[in-house]
């Protein structure tokens, strides 16, 4: 996996931050939960990339 995947994962985590903040500001718990899920998925993918890089 290359730099493109790392950028996509970081973008997904950032999108999650924005969604979570928007959900919190508007009182939309569903949007806030979606944002948390996106943020967590992006962070987990980034961690996986770091592990892969460590074994190269």
pLDDT single digits (tens) 13-34: 999 999 999 999 999 999 999 9
pLDDT in tens, 38-51: 999 999 999 988 89
Q: State the pLDDT at residue 33.
A: 96
- Domain positions in the chain are 3-54
The pLDDT of residue 53 is 84
What is the b/e burial string over 15-44, where b = at least 16 CB atoms within 10 angstroms of the residue's CB? ebeebbeebeeeeeeebbebbeebbeebee
Task: State if pTM tops 0.85.
Answer: no
4-17 tens-digit pLDDT: 888 998 999 999 99
């Amino acid at each position: 996996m290359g730099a493109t995947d790392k950028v996509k994962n970081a973008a997904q985590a950032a999108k999650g931050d924005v969604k979570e903040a928007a959900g919190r500001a508007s009182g939309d718990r569903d949007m806030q939960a979606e944002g948390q899920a996106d943020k967590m998925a992006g962070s987990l993918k980034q961690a996986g990339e770091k592990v892969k890089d460590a074994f190269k």
